[in-house]
């Protein structure tokens, strides 16, 4: 282990894609939402980054941070919209053992549905869970926290680390 040092961790960026039906807007994070007028039977989605700030490689506890996925759904003229599901992709790691990268270095982390970092937020495969909202209220912003954790005692070089994920809303 090298002497104590700090690492500046760049935000985890989430690029948003449409769900199984058209959404009113698509956002590339951390830029603003590119939204059109809401349509019946549609949803809009936006995100707030998970920004870990400074990481201490000597800390066994790791580093925690939060972000947000925010969505608003508009029911169709018949009032139909039974449930909403939000999935997160694997990121650049290609698995749900996610990692932030900086040049040739990798820093292991993950994103969770719960503040205790027990339920990995993914797409429902490989032991991950998705966020489900049954009967979301019409035209109401739903703010869902994203809990992030960088695992402790990782001996990596200083620098800016990042990952790119997709958040997909299915309704």
* Residue 139: alpha-carbon gap to chain centroid: 22
pLDDT value of residue 109: 97
- What pLDDT score does 81 carry? 72
Residues 109-119: tens digit of each pLDDT:
999 999 999 99
Burial class (CB in 10 A: 0-12, 13-18, 19+), 32: exposed
60-110 pLDDT, tens digit per residue, is 999 999 999 999 998 877 877 778 999 999 999 999 999 999 988 999 999
Look at phi and psi of residue 54 and say left if phi exceeds 0, alpha if psi is from -120 to 50, else beta: beta
- Asked whether residue 134 is assigned to any structural domain, the reply reads yes
**95, 108 Cβ separation under 8 angstroms:** no
What pLDDT is recorded for position 82?
75
Q: Residue 83 maps to which CATH number?
A: 2.60.40.1090
* Cα-based torsion angle of the residue sequence 112, 115, 117, 118 in order, rounded to the nearest 10 degrees: -90
Mean pLDDT of 33-58: 77
Would 32 be classed as within a structural domain?
yes
160 occurs within a structural domain: yes
Most confident of 2-6, 120-124, 133-137, 160-164: 120-124
| The model's pTM | 0.78
Query: What is the residue range of 62's domain?
Result: 9-170
Contact criterion met (CB below 8 Å) for 105 and 161: yes
* Mean pLDDT computed over 160-167: 92
128-159: per-residue pLDDT in tens? Answer: 999 999 988 999 999 999 999 999 999 999 99
Domain assignment of residue 65, yes or no: yes
* Tens of pLDDT, residues 2-40: 332 323 333 344 433 223 333 333 333 333 333 444 566
**What is the 8-class DSSP label of residue 129?**
B
Residue 78 placed within a domain:
yes
Residue 30 lies in a domain: yes
pLDDT of res. 142: 96
In a domain, 93, yes or no: yes
Q: Is residue 35 part of a domain?
A: yes
Q: Which residue has the higher pLDDT, 54 or 33?
A: 54
Q: Are 131 and 113 in contact (CB under 8 A)?
A: yes
What sign does the CA torsion over 162, 108, 117, 171 have? Answer: positive
Q: How many domains does the chain have?
A: 1
Q: What angle do CA 129, 130, 135 make, to 5 degrees?
A: 135
């Amino acid at each position: 282990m090298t002497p104590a040092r700090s690492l500046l961790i760049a935000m985890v960026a989430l690029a948003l894609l449409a769900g199984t039906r058209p959404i009113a807007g698509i956002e590339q994070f951390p830029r603003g939402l590119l939204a059109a007028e809401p349509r019946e039977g549609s949803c809009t989605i936006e995100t707030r980054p998970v920004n870990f700030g400074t990481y201490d490689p000597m800390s066994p506890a790791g580093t925690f941070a939060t972000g947000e996925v925010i969505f608003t759904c508009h029911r169709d003229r018949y009032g139909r919209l039974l449930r909403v599901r939000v999935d997160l992709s694997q990121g650049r790691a290609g698995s749900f053992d996610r990692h932030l990268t900086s040049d040739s270095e990798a820093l292991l982390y993950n994103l969770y549905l719960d503040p205790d970092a027990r339920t990995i937020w993914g797409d429902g495969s490989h032991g991950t869970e998705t966020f489900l909202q049954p009967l979301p209220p019409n035209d109401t912003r739903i703010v869902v926290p994203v809990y992030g954790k960088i695992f402790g005692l990782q001996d990596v070089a200083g620098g800016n680390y990042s990952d790119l994920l997709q958040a997909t809303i299915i309704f």
